[in-house]
Amino acid sequence: KLLKFTKRNNGETTQTDLFAATGLNAASKLNLDPAEAAEKQDKLKWEKELLGVYLSEHPLKGFEHCLPKETIALNQLGQKPNMSPVVAAGVIQKIKRVITKNGQPMMFVTLEDIKGSAEVLVFPKILEATRDKWLEEEIVIVRGKLTDKDGSTKIICDTVESLAERISKIQRLTIDLKCTPQPDLLQRLKLSLQNNIGPVPVYFKTNRQLVKAGAGIKISENSLKEISAILPADCLKLDIA
């Protein structure tokens, strides 16, 4: 609606100037329809679509504690030997589909994390089993091995898992209070937990003791992002099946 208004208003510039000479105001007014506040991830997608970059933050930020411990930053792939096994995670930025000499489809996928980007090779057999996982702007975790055959380091995909799939496997959230957050942060944490009550148990770790919270949490990308904005990643532990 905003784009349509801008286009129409630009077309009325000459008319507005004519009325300005008479002292009359012919300026258009924009009335926006009521709508729910956009989710953080949606805003980031719009930034990328309109500006070509993530302006406020990278979509992966806040989900670092959800990733496997062995996940490597994409800008560090070149430091590992050829054919090394790797686990990497990032946002799918670009998908190039090609047909092999044998007439089978495969893909070249550009993956981007907070520190860099890399190309993922998805060969026909893997593509057949994971076709629905490869969507632009989706966050995925890729397991595979490195190849520098063409002079640049790439990942040969063996398996892929979406962030949403991984989040759905979370069985427990443990919050380590060694961080001794300030009272205002504790209050924000309390409100966040109260606003996201659900079936996944929550535990607080204090002085080597685990204390189970009175209510669990509804695990989602939004609730995890909200909590990670309050506490550092090393204060959060997720038990994933």
Q: What average pLDDT does range 11-24 have in this prediction?
A: 48
Residue 68: what pLDDT?
95
Does position 74 have pLDDT exceeding 90, yes or no? yes
Q: What is the pLDDT of residues 84-107, one digit of tens each?
A: 999 999 999 999 999 999 999 999
Residue 183: what pLDDT?
84
At a CB cut-off of 8 Å and minimum separation 6, what does 241 contact? 169, 170, 171
Give the chain's mean pLDDT: 85
Within the chain, strands assigned E span 85-99, 105-112, 117-122, 139-147, 154-162, 170-176, 197-198, 202-206, 209-212, 216-217, 236-240
CA pair distance 201, 63, nearest whole angstrom: 19
Residue 49: what pLDDT?
58
AA identity, residue 41 = Q
Residue 42: what pLDDT?
61
AA identity, residue 206 = T
Q: What is the pLDDT of residues 34-52, one digit of tens each?
A: 665 555 556 556 556 555 5
Residue 207: what pLDDT?
80
Task: Note the pTM of the prediction, 2 decimals.
Answer: 0.77
Q: What is the pLDDT of residues 127-172, one digit of tens each?
A: 999 999 999 999 999 999 999 988 899 999 999 999 999 999 999 9
Report CA-CA distances (Å) from 1 to 6, 32, 33, 37, 238: 9, 8, 9, 16, 42
Counting residues of the chain whose pLDDT is more than 90, the rounded percentage is 62
Yes or no: say if 210 and 178 are a contact pair by the CB < 8 Å rule: no
